[in-house]
């Protein structure tokens, strides 16, 4: 067992964990933040994407011990308050960019980092950046629209 401390959404979460514990399990079970979902546990679907020091990573492909002393952001930290949404969340809501919503947290974490790097992307660039996140419900069309709408508003 290893003692670790990880800053998640600004709060330090400590735990004594087995070295094999996945980062995603630490976030979900130790920190109690279940908005990060496991869709495949082998790094393909992207549903478990969180941000590590601002960069998107798959929390099923990292061990919790590797995040010791680092800064993690999850979907729960996006909205500014209980009564408001982040502009990207709001744009997804208005664009019907989610159906079942299972993949949505991973997509939001991927796209939030993408828009910081590329604030004014073309639909083609959005599609390329989105290609590491699987969505089985929407056919992606409305997600691309939602990301573009958010980009317009966040300028």
**Chain residues that interact with other proteins, rule: CB under 8 A:** 18, 20-21, 28, 33-42, 44-45, 47, 74-76, 78-79, 85, 89, 92-94, 96, 98-105, 108, 126-128, 130-144
- Name the residue nearer to other proteins (CB basis): 85 or 154: 85
Q: How far is the CB of 66 from other proteins (least distance, A)?
A: 17
Q: State in angstroms the smallest separation of the CB of 19 from other proteins.
A: 12
Q: What's the 3-state SS for the chain?
A: CEEEEEEECCEEEEEEECCCCEHHHHHHHHCCCCCCCCCCCCCCCCCCEEEECCEEEECCCCEHHHHCCCEEECHHHCCCECCECCHHHHHHHHCCCCCCCCCHHHHHHHHHHHHHHCCCCCHHHHHHHHCCCCCCCCCCHHHHHHHHHHHHHHC
Nearer to other proteins, 108 or 151 (CB): 108
| Cβ-based nearer residue to other proteins, 26 or 69 | 26
Smaller CB separation from other proteins, 18 or 69: 18
């Amino acid at each position: 067992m290893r003692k670790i401390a990880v800053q998640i959404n600004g709060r330090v979460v400590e735990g004594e964990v087995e070295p094999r514990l996945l980062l995603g399990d630490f976030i979900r079970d130790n920190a109690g933040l279940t908005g990060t979902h496991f869709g495949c546990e082998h790094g393909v679907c992207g549903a478990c994407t969180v941000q590590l020091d601002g960069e998107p990573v798959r929390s099923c492909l990292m061990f919790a011990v590797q995040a010791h002393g680092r800064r993690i952001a999850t979907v729960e930290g996006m909205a500014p308050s209980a009564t408001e949404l982040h502009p990207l969340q709001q744009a997804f809501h208005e664009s019907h960019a989610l159906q079942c919503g299972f993949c949505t947290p991973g997509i939001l974490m991927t796209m939030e980092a993408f828009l910081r790097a590329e604030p004014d992307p073309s639909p083609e660039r959005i599609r390329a950046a989105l290609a590491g996140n699987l969505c089985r419900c929407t056919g992606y069309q409305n997600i691309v629209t939602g990301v573009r709408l958010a980009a317009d508003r966040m300028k």
